[in-house]
């Protein structure tokens, strides 16, 4: 069963002028990889330059290099630098996205 992206609460609603974490591990994220990517990109949009956002992705989709990194490169190029941090005990994955310049 696919979740309508319009029915899902946004990951954030304000610009973060600090480093923060975006929780992309909720059950509806496990059901929809496209939602994870879409909300990860939104999280980056809401992160002020000079800060980072930890994108905590659902474990059901595997390692984020399999689906997220290409979207980050295609969308932001050199404006965002990202690095894999670790796999959580719950099975999710943490990717740290450093916003180098306004996106």
11 part of a folded domain = no
Host domain of residue 77: 21-99
* pLDDT score, position 2: 55
3-state secondary structure (DSSP) of residue 72: helix
Alpha-carbon distance of 19 to 69, in angstroms, equals 20
* pLDDT score, position 4: 64
Alpha-carbon distance of 94 to 84, in angstroms, equals 6
- Is-above-0.75 flag for pTM? yes
The CATH number of whichever domain residue 68 belongs to comes to 3.30.1370
30 part of a folded domain = yes
7 part of a folded domain = no
Give the dihedral of Cα atoms 86, 87, 93, 94; nearest 10 deg.
-20
Summarised one tens digit per residue, pLDDT across range 33-82 is 999 999 999 999 999 999 999 999 999 999 999 999 999 999 999 999 99
4 part of a folded domain = no
80 part of a folded domain = yes
User: What is the DSSP secondary structure assignment for residue 58, as one 8-state letter?
Assistant: -
As for how many domains the chain has, the answer is 1
Token pair, residue 83, equals 């690095």
């Amino acid at each position: 069963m696919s979740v309508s992206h319009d029915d899902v609460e946004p990951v954030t609603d304000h610009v973060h002028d600090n480093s923060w974490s975006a929780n992309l591990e909720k059950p509806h994220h496990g059901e929809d990889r496209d939602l994870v990517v879409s909300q990860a990109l939104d999280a980056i949009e809401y992160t002020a330059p000079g800060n980072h956002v930890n994108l905590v992705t659902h474990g059901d989709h595997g390692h984020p290099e399999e689906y997220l990194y290409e979207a980050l490169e295609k969308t932001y190029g050199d404006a965002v630098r990202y690095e894999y941090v670790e796999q959580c005990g719950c099975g999710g994955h943490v990717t740290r996205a450093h916003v180098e310049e306004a996106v």
